[in-house]
Amino acid sequence: MDLFLYICNIVLEETLNGVGANNALPSTETQQEKRKMSSRGGLRHWTESEDLKLTELVAAHGFDNWDLIGEKMQTRSGKSCRVRWFNQLDPTINRAPFTEEEERIIVSSHNYYGNQWVKIARHLKGRTENDVRHHWNYHLNRPARGSHIKPKTRYFTPPMNPHGYPGLCPL
């Protein structure tokens, strides 16, 4: 638990210093306060103060009680807080570019599991299901550059298990 609190403190410091996953926000909070609700049915961007508060609440309550955290956030649901934490704010997320080994694992796992991104992401430490899905859709499963025709079949058709060997995985 001490390591968890240490990591949360690092995230808090980075958030206060403007370093971290959420640098694409507008420069002032007042711009976002004026634009409380967007045209997409009430969804709005997370502010730096909300990220900071969420990080503090996760440090205080852990990441098992999202309903309580959502209540304390007041403007966000527990589900929204959980998604924000696990996809953007969690300090264990690996933000480095995908390696060739990780791409090989994604390809072989996709042939075995199909589009079950959670199961595929479990084979890649520090990668979220969103990261894996986006990397597959925008880098690995695209036709050759310059061609705008979407393929009708997968490029990687031989069935492979997650370990890279043909055939079923012995469990």
pLDDT, tens digit (0-9, with 9 covering 90-100), for 120-171: 999 999 999 999 999 999 988 875 455 555 554 555 545 555 666 555 444 4
Domain boundaries, the chain: 2-32+45-89, 97-171
pLDDT, tens digit (0-9, with 9 covering 90-100), for 33-90: 444 444 344 568 999 999 999 999 999 999 889 999 999 998 899 999 999 998 899 9
CATH 3.30.420 is held by the domain 2-32+45-89 = no
Burial class (CB in 10 A: 0-12, 13-18, 19+), 57: buried
Look at the pTM and tell me if it is higher than 0.75: no
Do 2-32+45-89 and 97-171 come out as alike in CATH topology?
yes
Q: What angle do CA 83, 88, 89 make, to 5 degrees?
A: 100
Distance CA 99, CA 43 (A): 34
pLDDT category, 21, cuts 50, 70, 90?
very low
CATH architecture of the domain covering 97-171: Orthogonal Bundle (1.10)
